[in-house]
Amino acid sequence: MTLITTPNLDDHDGFYAELLAAHRGLSETQGQALNAQLILILANHIGDREVLTEALELARQR
Amino acid sequence: MPYDYKPFPYVAPPGLSGPEPRHKVIIVGAGPVGLAMALDLATRGVPSVLLDDNDVVAMGSRAICWSRRSLELFTRLGIADKVLDKGETWSVGRTCHGDDEVFSFDLAAEPGQHLPPFINIQQYYIEEFLAERALADPLVDLRFRNRVIGIDQSGDGAHVTIRTPDGQYGLSADFVLACDGGRSTIRAMMDLDFEGERFDERFLIADIEMKADFPAERWFWFEPTFHDGQSALLHRQADDIYRIDLQLGWDADPEEEKKPENVIPRIEKVVGPDFELEWVSVYTFQCRRLRDFVHDRVIFLGDSAHVVSPFGARGANSGLQDVDNLGWKLAAVLAGRAPRGLLDSYNRERVAAADEDIRHSTRATRFMTPSPGMERLFRDQVLALAGKTEFARGWVNSGRLSAPCIYASTGADDPMLPAATRPGAVVPDVPQGNGWLLNRLGTDAALLAVNCAVPGGLDLPVVEMQVNALVRERFLGDAPGALYLVRPDQVVAARWITADARTVSSAVRAMWEGRE
Ligand SMILES: Cc1cc2nc3c(=O)[nH]c(=O)nc-3n(C[C@H](O)[C@H](O)[C@H](O)COP(=O)(O)OP(=O)(O)OC[C@H]3O[C@@H](n4cnc5c(N)ncnc54)[C@H](O)[C@@H]3O)c2cc1C
């Protein structure tokens, strides 16, 4: 499997709002902690090392 | 009762009074690696001179956890019974965050092994047992208080200069094996660089004696309340001695921290007041290796070739695997049974193994001592997640314990056979009759025949395997039968479901040539 970079998530607007809502009321440190946990949880869920590497590469691109 | 460091006798070497004949092998350094190397070569009929600058076994806190693979080597070298008798076997490790256990593991879960996954015993005992054997072995010429102070090699030999209490002398040999430890003088004299990472973190390592009934388990704490925010490790050893490692931080002053008035209160917080301090040191660690372990006629093994942080017990255990890997190759080259090129395979395989050890140890050390910022953030969040989900427990890294490296191999293979015994892997032990497979394999290569006929005309010891459930699981999988070509270090060289004599012979040739 390779990283999906075409639209793949139904209701992405809804997810985006939920993500922001999850951060509401958190300090910057707490927000970073939440993000870190989220990354770890999603990585485990994806469960595909190659996809994760590709995702990291994409995120590092400027 | 503290260990009694009895000095070994120094005897003036013959080389002081006249030139000695050229030796086959000179081993520099009688630590666990040099001692095991001399004994391993002796089991193959190769004599060696073993030089050590000191006359006592390892002082202070050094290796305590010895792996099953090391015990398998100790069995061959004749000290396993003593080690098993004296040591504390363990298989359970517990990892805590704060004061709560986040998870535990049990390495014994794998059935059908007669040796424990790990045994804890102080390095000075291992060296004592090995030295006793070496002193009794006519093929090992062990010389204490012989310090190597010079080395050079010409086309056909290597030469060392040695300092003794009675003056200097020189020796020549076909090969010099540098087993002179992390601060190797040979490495320095040959101007070789050590590459890798150092960690800016100090650890207080203490051995204490106490009568307690802490179980023989590995206990690791991240951020325990008894040691404000840093990590701690507790391990039981022989003779009611416990090892405690406490992370101190980089700012700590080693001399200050070693003072009993500073050490004792720290340890009291972990185990209470009833203990005697046996030894305290403050260490910083590094994960580094030589670029190459073979330099013509000088070959590096153990800490002189590679060093790691101790979390994972990969130092001495890895050095002993160097011995396992080199012994048969060097003996074969010296006997003219194999070309010199076979030694390149020692370099290739053990450099790769060192990289694996360094990778694991670096990751573990980083996890335990993250740098500030993102590294710290992710570390803390893995720990936080480990309290609430199962997957993150496996991510918590307090050291990934030493396991034999699986060498890269292009030896013949069949996809029907189980992955665990693929070419490059050490043969797993299995029950055979009243005994065990590994004890039946000698010091030579062998062909294991599992439920199949052996092709005729091969000049190789054959072990006809008794097929039981474990043999079926580890050697056959769904295949009806199989042939395994096993190297003298018990690593699978090639395997087939069926093969004719020509196919096997060409694999045997590739093995002695050290082809990948
Ligand atoms: C705190 C701590 C905990 C550890 N825990 C573990 C563990 O649990 N498991 C594990 O596997 N490893 C562990 N290790 C690592 C282990 O101690 C080393 O990997 C091991 O000692 C390496 O053995 P060696 O024979 O290569 O070198 P050394 O043990 O250092 O021996 C080298 C020998 O060479 C001699 N020598 C040096 N220079 C010369 C010279 N010029 N001439 C003659 N002789 C010379 C020295 O006197 C010494 O006897 C630990 C280390 C530390 C510090």
What CATH number does residue B77 fall under?
3.50.50.60
DSSP 8-state symbol, B473 = I
Pocket probe mutation, ligand 1, options B53, B124, B241, max atoms within 8 Å of Cβ: B53
B154: Cα within 13 Å, side-chain hemisphere: 3
Residue of A nearest to B377 (CA): A33
Q: What is the pLDDT of residue B156?
A: 86
Q: Which residue's C-alpha comes closest to atom 9 of ligand 1?
A: B313
Check whether residue B423 and residue B353 sit in a common domain.
no
Q: What is the pLDDT of residue B1?
A: 64
- Please answer yes or no on whether A33 and B382 come within 8 Å at the CB atom: no
Residue B470 sits in a domain of what CATH number? 3.40.30.120
Nearest Cα residue to B362 out of B293, B301, B310: B310
B119: helix, coil or strand?
Answer: strand
- Please answer yes or no on whether A40 and B377 come within 8 Å at the CB atom: no
pLDDT tens digits for A3-59? 999 999 999 999 999 999 999 999 999 999 999 999 999 999 999 999 999 999 999
In a domain, B308, yes or no: yes
Domain boundary pick from B357, B373, B390? B357
- Please answer yes or no on whether B385 and A37 come within 8 Å at the CB atom: yes
Give Cβ neighbours of residue B10 (< 8 Å, ≥ 6 apart). Answer: B55, B143, B144, B145, B164, B165
Residues of B in contact with A41 (CB under 8 A): 385, 389
Residue A44 touches partner B, C-beta closer than 8 Å: yes
Check whether residue B352 and residue B435 sit in a common domain.
no
- Please answer yes or no on whether A40 and B392 come within 8 Å at the CB atom: yes
Q: What is the pLDDT of residue A49?
A: 97
Q: What is the pLDDT of residue A1?
A: 67
In a domain, B338, yes or no: yes
**Closest Cβ–Cβ partner in A33, A41, A44 for B377:** A33
Residues of A in contact with B379 (CB under 8 A): none
Check whether residue B161 and residue B18 sit in a common domain.
yes
**Binding-site residues, ligand 1, Cβ < 6 A:** B 28-34, 51-54, 58, 61-65, 123, 147-148, 179-182, 185, 205, 283, 302-303, 310, 313, 315-317, 319
- pLDDT tens string, chain B, 516 residues long: the values are 678 889 999 999 999 999 999 999 999 999 999 999 999 999 999 999 999 999 999 888 899 999 999 999 999 999 999 999 999 998 899 999 988 898 888 887 666 778 999 999 999 999 999 999 999 999 999 999 999 999 999 878 999 999 999 999 999 999 999 999 999 999 999 999 899 888 878 899 999 999 987 888 999 999 999 888 789 999 999 999 999 999 988 888 888 988 989 889 989 988 889 999 999 999 988 999 999 999 999 999 999 999 999 889 999 999 999 999 999 999 999 999 999 999 999 999 999 999 999 999 999 999 998 989 999 999 999 999 998 999 999 999 999 999 999 999 999 999 999 999 999 999 999 999 999 999 999 899 999 999 999 998 898 999 999 999 999 999 999 999 999 999 999 999 999 999 999 999 999 999 999 998
Instruction: Please name every residue paired with B65 in a beta bridge, in sequence order, or none if there are none.
Output: B120
- Please answer yes or no on whether B385 and A32 come within 8 Å at the CB atom: no
Which atom of ligand 1 approaches the CA of B307 most closely? 19
Spell out which chain B residues touch chain A, with contact meaning CB-CB distance below 8 angstroms.
377-378, 380-382, 384-385, 389, 391-392, 395
In a domain, B250, yes or no: no
Residues of B in contact with A36 (CB under 8 A): 377-378, 381
Residues making up chain B, counted from first to last: 516
Nearest Cα residue to B305 out of B36, B313, B94, B320: B320
Parent domain of B472: 419-512
Give Cβ neighbours of residue B385 (< 8 Å, ≥ 6 apart). Answer: A37, A40, A41, B391, B392, B395
CB B448 within 8 A of CB B440: no
- Please answer yes or no on whether A33 and B380 come within 8 Å at the CB atom: yes
Q: How many CB atoms lie within 10 A of CB B146?
A: 26
Measure the CA dihedral B461/B467/B473/B477, to 10°. Answer: 80
In a domain, B72, yes or no: yes
Pocket probe mutation, ligand 1, options B161, B303, B308, max atoms within 8 Å of Cβ: B303
Check whether residue B423 and residue B352 sit in a common domain.
no
Phi, psi for B491 (deg, rounded to 5): -95, 140
DSSP 8-state symbol, B73 = H
Between the CA of residue B131 and those of B32, B39, B180, B183, B300, what are the distances in Å? 9, 9, 16, 21, 20
Check whether residue B156 and residue B33 sit in a common domain.
yes
Distance from the B194 Cα atom to the nearest Cα atom in chain A, whole angstroms = 30
How many Å apart are CA B328 and CA B323, to the nearest integer? 9
CB B30 within 8 A of CB B52: yes
State the count of interchain CB pairs (< 8 A) between A and B.
21
Check whether residue B155 and residue B67 sit in a common domain.
yes
- Please answer yes or no on whether A40 and B385 come within 8 Å at the CB atom: yes
Structurally, chain B folds into a number of domains equal to: 2
B154: helix, coil or strand?
Answer: strand
pTM across the whole model: 0.95
Which atom of ligand 1 approaches the CA of B402 most closely? 11
Residue of B nearest to A44 (CA): B391
In a domain, B389, yes or no: no
Check whether residue B351 and residue B461 sit in a common domain.
no
- Please answer yes or no on whether B380 and A41 come within 8 Å at the CB atom: no
Nearest Cα residue to B24 out of B332, B300, B348: B332
Q: What is the ipTM of this complex?
A: 0.96
Type of residue numbered B508:
V
